[in-house]
Structure 1
Amino acid sequence: MAYLDTYSGNWTAAEANHLLRRASFGCSQDTLTEALELGLTGTISKLFEAQPMPEPPLKYELDGTERDEVYDPEVNYGETWVNAAPYPILPTQQATNKAIRARNRSLYAWTFIQMQESGISIREKLTLFWHNHFVSVNTNPHREFYYINTLRENALGNFKELTKKITIDPNMLVYLSGNQNTNSAPNENYARELLELFTLGKGAAVGNGDYTNYTEDDIVAIAKILTGWRVKSLLDPDTLTPFFSNFNHSKGSKTLSHRFNNAVIEENGADEYKDLIDVIFQQEECSKFIIRQIYKWFVNSEITDDIEVNVITPLAKILRDNDYEIAPALKVILASDHFFESTFCMIKNPIDLMLSVTKSLLFDGPSTTIKEQYDYALVLYSACFDLNQDIFHHPDVAGWKAYYQAPLFYKSWVNSFLLPKRLDYCRIIVTGGDLVIDDITYTIPPLIPVLTIVSKIENATDPNVLIRSLSNLLFNYEVSEEQITSLKEFLIPGLPDFEWTVEYSEYLADSTNITLVVAVDKKLRNLLSIMVQMSEFQIM
């Protein structure tokens, strides 16, 4: 059986769960039911369906003039700030800074809302993948929004064309000094990362300044090719539109090394960077490099010689044959025998972990006011930030260590400091309590509708059936009889099974009785809070 043969085994809840958790964020009972009905082929098709772009982030904090309040009069509550001036001119610098930080918070919360509400779609998972691949850090929310929207618009599209767009993205030009790259002072920052992190990888050193995939002379030449691109001041209304300054561009042809077959990039003004990227993407290693990154993100961190030959190489050929359209190769790996054999080998990153709790346990966020919805999403963002996955602010240009740093890879998400926090955050989402993050206390109500969840389980009066059904929702495998016995101690400590049968039956017969409601809710919440802290919930 070939690694990339289409999976032909049984399509059960375990397989559907595995696919949905890896290719999207979490898996609810509703999405699981839909995937089971669609089958593997139908679920893959739905994951890759084109989606309309989401409405832009909104101003969700009310204006005020007190010390701790925000004053951003250019934007009304409930309207987007994206079309306002990127740098608001307010009476004081402090007020301006507060308004910008409020827009930052809105963007970060909005990004979590998109992931929370993504359903059976791979787009948001891919957007996060590209965000970790084309790392670009800034503090201006307008530039950040423009950048992340470019990734979202092109997430399922063409890797080569996305590379061209990102190369002159204002956020990236500022982050990697592209806007300072001139003919009189070429800056090599972006040229180096374009090759080493974004397209080819460095490869082993084979000589002085000569690596498997490029040379130091290529960095020098490429820096000159990329000269002339500029970003206007934040005070300029066109700051989000990059522009080309021919005056600052290095003239004449540039010759690349033997690693690129001594390709010559002719003088071509504003389009010269496109010619360069076309040459880079002619290298076969470019397709293998990005497939390895995709493999680490969706399948496994370990790439053996066997995987290189039987998975990476054929997928890279599919990518090249489709002129770097990303979807065809992704569909093959996600539908393959190898993918469905690659289970329980990935520790959930913090975002996957938090959304596994909320989506598996039917909490979509408050639906009352914009402020409550955004405040809730900001708590999820803050928790992930505290667990070392801070969107928009990677630790460095290489991205999160879990996807590149051997030998730990995914294990970098857990250590003696982070693991207790991971477990506690999962528990608090179920039970409620205080989250203390960066000296700020967030009081979280019990968010999970435990009674609603259990109402969907047939024969939930049997504690064994109840626990097994909940474990099928939360974990990717059947729990053992010993685990069921242990978990019953958190539902009905020291009591025989019939005690739960009687209590839950009485609740079903009189579900308006507050005493019964509170007692059953407490027991279920206690059980679920333990289950989301189990090691089985931390992996996927």
Structure 2
Amino acid sequence: MASLNPFGGVLGRENAAHLLRRTTFGPTKQQINQFASLTADQALSQLFQAVTDPQPPRDVATGAVWVNPKPTDLNSEENDLIRYFRGWWLELMRNEGLSIKERMTYFMHTHFTTAISVVSNSTALYYQNALFRAYATGNFKELSRKICLDNAMLIFLDGRQNEDGRPNENFAREFLELYTIGKGPQIGDGDYTNYTEQDVQEAARVLSGYIDDTEFTEMDTDTNLAKGMLRLDGSGIATRHDAGTKTFSSAFGGATITPNEIVDDRATEAAALDELDQLVDMIFNQQETARHICRKLYRFFVYYDITDEIEQDIIGPLADTFRNQNYEIQPVLEQLFRSQHFYDTDNATETDDNLGAIIKSPLDLTIGALRFFEVQVPDSASQLDTAYDMSYPALLSSMDDQGMILYEPPEVAGYPAYHQNPEFNRNWISNVGLARRYQFANVLLENFDNQAFQLDAVSYVDDPQHISDPANPTTLVQELIDDMFPEIITQERFDYFMNDILLDNLSAANWAGEWNNYKNTGDDSNVRVQLDKLVIALMQSPEYQLY
């Protein structure tokens, strides 16, 4: 029986690594060791500590930010600025310590998705990303309200084209289907258990009359981030907003939404915004909204397959917590991450193991390797041009080759791995993508295309904080496997990595001699060849592709 009962005692290394792999973009060995001695509550206290919001990205051409609040005429071309924005975000992921905030910012991006090909504006993309970060572990209901006025979203799903007399239902449909309550079983043509076509049409009327602010001067008073706005006349009247009464279906109890202030048959700005509040309240008053979001969180952090048992024993209680906490995200995540179920200790069944059960995304694979091996990458704070023009473009290119273009999901619902039934995370694997995944290990070690970063496997294993006794091949291989793989492997697999790869079927004494020769002479040529082969074999293994 699946259980959200709390996990007792200290985490230990395996559970600590599992928690950190799922809640960050990959831990170092030192971070695994640090969390191994903590209880789940102590670990979560660290993961949810408040962190300072990052500075906005800077333009290589000027060294200045371009989003406070409007781009100047002195900046680089927009395509360059978008590239700098994406590199800036990768840098935040790579550099973030023991915090869940950036991981949750990414979750919000996968949920409220946006594509650069549609929203080709770096400033709008930045402010949306900052909005996700502001509510990363905060109130999901409030974020859902604010996304309705987000400039990038108004562009992406045509909200800015939705006005009285010329309705555009794109955003209203996705707001119901993807972002809040979800469909539920279909009961008719266009009608579902949780909402109907009538509800899409009426929600679109509520959401009418908003436009994106191309000057980025309209600021949200809660976040101080740029947002969209209503079309208003000089008297504060919403000229393009549908001021009629909106009547919803029985799925929402036949609820109605009406402007509370009308002037000359038009709603005031305050009245139109109040309608938006009513719409969000109506949707979040439905129990299924909490369940839909909790399923998304579960699939993102635990496993894609939600059985009847998981729905009853895990999703239901999490949704109750979500509603009882007025849609605050942190209490739900804490309940999940401190549970026996998350660490798969709630039963003795081996076939439902949550550890090592998710295929890494290209983002996790790429940033996780940099973080684990502590690869030095030029920092934009001191080497702006090298970071944004050489380092992060190479990483983004590798991710593109692996099948993930960051900020360019192939569907309006986002990246298929997070939503597309029944494949889910298996969508990351294709013939070409798999080959490119494996190639990334070579990219990291062999410095392709003069990239400004490279993994030095000899230096890594020669650090006693990483490997306790590199001259001992058994110790060397075992400690790497313990830190890189999510689960214990068979003796046959271990022997393959040690004997066939590292030792090349020579003796352990031969390796010890080669290592000691390197330490005495500084000539690392022989050990480097074998260590590079070992790291590549480990990174290309099926075990490493999972977390």
Same fold per TM (> 0.5)? yes
Q: Which moved more, 1:278-287 or 1:45-54?
A: 45-54
Counterpart residue number, 2:242 = 250
Amino acid at match of 2:300: W
Please list the CA deviations of residues 301-351 of structure 1 after superposition, one character each: whole Å capped at 9, or x if unmatched. Answer: 000111100000010000000000011011111111111121121101111
Please give the alpha-carbon distance, in whole angstroms, between the structure 2 residues aligned to 1:450 and 1:476.
Answer: 23
Please give the alpha-carbon distance, in whole angstroms, between the structure 2 residues aligned to 1:394 and 1:334.
Answer: 28
Native 8 Å contact 1:123 1:152 kept in 2: yes
Unmatched tracts of structure 1, length 5 or more? 64-75, 91-95, 435-440
Amino acid at match of 2:377: G
> Which of the residues 505, 530, 534 maps onto 2:516?
505
Counterpart residue number, 1:166 = 147
Counterpart residue number, 1:274 = 277
Match of 1:206, SS? strand
Unmatched tracts of structure 2, length 5 or more? 220-225, 232-237, 260-270, 345-353
Amino acid at match of 1:154: Y
Counterpart residue number, 1:471 = 481
Please give the alpha-carbon distance, in whole angstroms, between the structure 2 residues aligned to 1:331 and 1:270.
Answer: 33
Counterpart residue number, 1:462 = 472
Structural mapping, 1:375-386, within 5 Å: 375-386=390-401
State the shift of 1:10 in Å.
5.8
Counterpart residue number, 2:223 = none
Match of 1:344, SS? coil
Q: Which moved more, 1:192-201 or 1:39-48?
A: 39-48
Structural mapping, 1:136-147, within 5 Å: 136-137=114-115, 138-147=119-128
Change (3 A) 1:210 1:477: closer
Counterpart residue number, 1:261 = 253
Please list the CA deviations of residues 379-433 of structure 1 after superposition, one character each: whole Å capped at 9, or x if unmatched. Answer: 222222222222222112101111111221111111222111101112321x214
Match of 2:198, SS? helix
Counterpart residue number, 2:168 = 187
Counterpart residue number, 2:113 = 135
Match of 1:536, SS? coil
Q: Which moved more, 1:17-26 or 1:32-41?
A: 32-41
Matched, 1:485 2:488: no
Counterpart residue number, 2:425 = 410
Please give the alpha-carbon distance, in whole angstroms, between the structure 2 residues aligned to 1:445 and 1:153.
Answer: 31
Please give the alpha-carbon distance, in whole angstroms, between the structure 1 residues aligned to 2:462 and 2:12.
Answer: 21
Counterpart residue number, 2:290 = 287
Match of 1:58, SS? coil
State the shift of 1:272 in Å.
1.4
Match of 1:194, SS? helix
State the shift of 1:442 in Å.
5.9
State the shift of 1:208 in Å.
4.1
> Which of the residues 57, 65, 76 maps onto 1:80?
65
Counterpart residue number, 1:353 = 365
Match of 1:247, SS? coil
Please give the alpha-carbon distance, in whole angstroms, between the structure 2 residues aligned to 1:340 and 1:280.
Answer: 33
Counterpart residue number, 2:77 = 99
Amino acid at match of 1:473: D
Counterpart residue number, 1:301 = 304
Native 8 Å contact 1:492 1:523 kept in 2: yes
Q: Root-mean-square deviation (CA), in Å?
A: 2.0
Q: Which moved more, 1:517-526 or 1:301-310?
A: 517-526
Please give the alpha-carbon distance, in whole angstroms, between the structure 1 residues aligned to 2:447 and 2:387.
Answer: 18
Counterpart residue number, 2:99 = 121
Native 8 Å contact 1:135 1:399 kept in 2: yes
Identity of aligned residues (%): 32
Change (3 A) 1:384 1:43: same
Native 8 Å contact 2:11 2:37 kept in 1: no
Amino acid at match of 2:326: D
Native 8 Å contact 2:114 2:407 kept in 1: yes
Amino acid at match of 2:458: V
Please list the CA deviations of residues 198-224 of structure 1 after superposition, one character each: whole Å capped at 9, or x if unmatched. Answer: 001112221344310011111111111
Change (3 A) 1:448 1:371: farther
Please give the alpha-carbon distance, in whole angstroms, between the structure 2 residues aligned to 1:251 and 1:4.
Answer: 46
State the shift of 1:363 in Å.
1.4
Amino acid at match of 2:314: V
Match of 2:543, SS? helix
Counterpart residue number, 2:343 = 340
Change (3 A) 1:362 1:209: closer
Counterpart residue number, 1:53 = 53
Native 8 Å contact 1:204 1:212 kept in 2: yes
Please give the alpha-carbon distance, in whole angstroms, between the structure 2 residues aligned to 1:414 and 1:208.
Answer: 34
Please give the alpha-carbon distance, in whole angstroms, between the structure 2 residues aligned to 1:479 and 1:206.
Answer: 47
Please give the alpha-carbon distance, in whole angstroms, between the structure 2 residues aligned to 1:9 and 1:270.
Answer: 49
Change (3 A) 1:243 1:11: closer
Amino acid at match of 1:258: S
Please give the alpha-carbon distance, in whole angstroms, between the structure 2 residues aligned to 1:450 and 1:334.
Answer: 36
Amino acid at match of 1:345: A
Please give the alpha-carbon distance, in whole angstroms, between the structure 1 residues aligned to 2:422 and 2:114.
Answer: 25
Please list the CA deviations of residues 246-290 of structure 1 after superposition, one character each: whole Å capped at 9, or x if unmatched. Answer: 010111321111110111112122331111101100000000000
Please list the CA deviations of residues 146-173 of structure 1 after superposition, one character each: whole Å capped at 9, or x if unmatched. Answer: 1110001111001100001101001111
Matched, 1:38 2:21: no
Change (3 A) 1:451 1:480: farther
Match of 1:539, SS? coil
> Which of the residues 149, 152, 159 maps onto 2:133?
152
Structural mapping, 1:1-16, within 5 Å: 3-8=3-8, 11-16=11-16
Please give the alpha-carbon distance, in whole angstroms, between the structure 1 residues aligned to 2:478 and 2:250.
Answer: 61
Q: How many residues align?
A: 506
Please give the alpha-carbon distance, in whole angstroms, between the structure 2 residues aligned to 1:445 and 1:391.
Answer: 20
Please give the alpha-carbon distance, in whole angstroms, between the structure 1 residues aligned to 2:123 and 2:181.
Answer: 30
Counterpart residue number, 2:461 = 453
Counterpart residue number, 1:69 = none
Counterpart residue number, 1:432 = 446
Please give the alpha-carbon distance, in whole angstroms, between the structure 2 residues aligned to 1:392 and 1:256.
Answer: 34
Match of 2:374, SS? coil
Match of 1:479, SS? coil
Length-normalised TM-score, structure 1: 0.89
